[in-house]
With several copies, the nearest count.
Chain A
């Protein structure tokens, strides 16, 4: 799982490795290890292997990449 901006700051790492499961389960796993992540999580959107993913029941296989994107603030 790749973390960006505020999500990376909350976790303290740009990348963490999590056991396969569903989008919801991998996020739960990160939240249980990094308590600050719970605060950022509700605001984030996700990419599963570069494709936008919103359903927490979506399966996340071994070797898949999840990108955690906090709210954009460009411009």
Chain B
């Protein structure tokens, strides 16, 4: 799956409608539309955006690197969340490569019947992506220094 583009399903329930790692811009409204469903009473979406500051330092440029297995791991993560919660539909996308300030690195959208489940499932999805996805973030600061985030 890592090399064959987005994994899109159109099954009847608990659908994972997208689980992709992409070098393209992620459009949050498109992700939300993907999970729309007449049965859904609640859609919660998360957009993790690249910030101009990190720990008080000004960020000039930012790059994400993904392991070749990243998209397969993302599909597993999506499946785990779909199994843990009453999900009607789910879509998740992680961007890699250089990302301009203000643009999204990660977008997740979850549709459920009731709102509590949508918040819980979307937050658990984002947490699990952060924990499991083999992706790395490289920041170059305005003073020219750089760092690999989470690497002491």
Direct contact of A and B (CB under 8 A): yes
Q: With A4-B65, A6-B148 in contact, is A74–B138 under 8 Å at CB?
A: no
Question: In chain A, what residue has the closest Cβ to B66?
Answer: A74
Chain A residues lying within 8 Å of B130, measured Cβ to Cβ, are: 72, 74-75
| B94 engages A75 (CB within 8 Å) | yes
| A72 engages B69 (CB within 8 Å) | no
| A70 engages B148 (CB within 8 Å) | yes
Any chain A CB within 8 A of the CB of B5? no
Any chain B CB within 8 A of the CB of A5? yes
Tell me the smallest distance from the CB of B117 to a CB of chain A, in Å. Answer: 15
Assembly CA distance A74 to B131 (angstroms): 8
Q: Between A and B, how many residue pairs show CB distances below 8 Å? A: 64
| A5 engages B148 (CB within 8 Å) | yes
| A75 engages B106 (CB within 8 Å) | yes
Question: In chain A, what residue has the closest Cβ to B138?
Answer: A5
> B132 touches which one: A39, A50, A72 (CB < 8 A)?
A72
Tell me the smallest distance from the CB of B98 to a CB of chain A, in Å. Answer: 14
Interface residues of A in 1-53 (CB under 8 A from B): 4-6, 9, 39-40, 43, 47, 50
| A74 engages B148 (CB within 8 Å) | no
Interface size (B, Cβ < 8 Å)?
25
| B106 engages A5 (CB within 8 Å) | no
Any chain A CB within 8 A of the CB of B113? no
Contact with B along A48-69 (1 / 0, CB 8 A): 0010000000000000000101
| B135 engages A40 (CB within 8 Å) | no
Tell me the smallest distance from the CB of B55 to a CB of chain A, in Å. Answer: 13
Assembly CA distance A73 to B147 (angstroms): 12
Any chain A CB within 8 A of the CB of B6? no
Contact with A along B101-144 (1 / 0, CB 8 A): 00001100000000100000000001001111111111000000
Q: 8 additional contacts, CB 8 Å, given A73-B151, A75-B133?
A: A6-B136, A6-B151, A72-B135, A73-B135, A73-B148, A74-B94, A74-B129, A74-B133
Could you list some 18 contacts between A and B, CB below 8 A? A5-B65, A5-B136, A6-B151, A9-B148, A39-B152, A47-B69, A71-B150, A72-B130, A72-B131, A72-B136, A73-B137, A73-B149, A73-B151, A74-B133, A75-B94, A75-B130, A75-B133, A75-B135
